[in-house]
Chain A
């Protein structure tokens, strides 16, 4: 068993590392993630009355 604080610290560190890893992805990969996020968020935003236009990817 680890103390709660140690576990939390480890989890937060892992989370931060993951975000930094995402930041280091090539821009092309990041855009693919953004487009996936757009498609996930669009129905919720539309329910709130916001008009949004998710992009389509021009994969080669």
Chain B
């Protein structure tokens, strides 16, 4: 996966997106026990365009030039199935903006804060998110004040309260 991250860094350097961070199950993996997933979810922020339109085509084209093939909504980058997800709401925008700088092997990368990962799991609310949330909540020590701020800002306190009932 390190070579995959090197490609993600190169795309950011080349301006295909202004910033990226790992989220989803692989983001959670940085903090919790291993869990089965087949996707590396990469959240990206695009440069602003005049028309305000977002398209992943330039990323796919750049990857194709580097020899990486697109398969449905994924791209196989150095043996890892990557899904690029544009930040799509205030919570994911904030998660990307505040993402943690970290390392994979010797390669720098970014991952969402555990508190943002929790908030996104609550917000998304699919069964698999809530199952992951339960384990994450048991295993990961989070900053309670920071989590409370995130949940308040993104109107998720009620879901959090429902979870705790």
Contact = CB atoms under 8 A, between A and B. Distances in A.
Interface of A is mostly: helix
A31 B105 CA distance: 11
Nearest to A27: B30
Contacts, number: 62
Given A19-B33, A53-B71, A27 B104 contact: yes
Contacts of A53: 38, 71, 74, 76, 81
Size class of the contact patch on chain B: 20 to 34
Interface in B80-95: 80-81
Interface in B89-129: 102, 104-105
B98 to A, nearest CB: 19
A34 B36 contact: yes
A55 B80 contact: yes
A60 B36 contact: no
Contacts of A37: 34-36
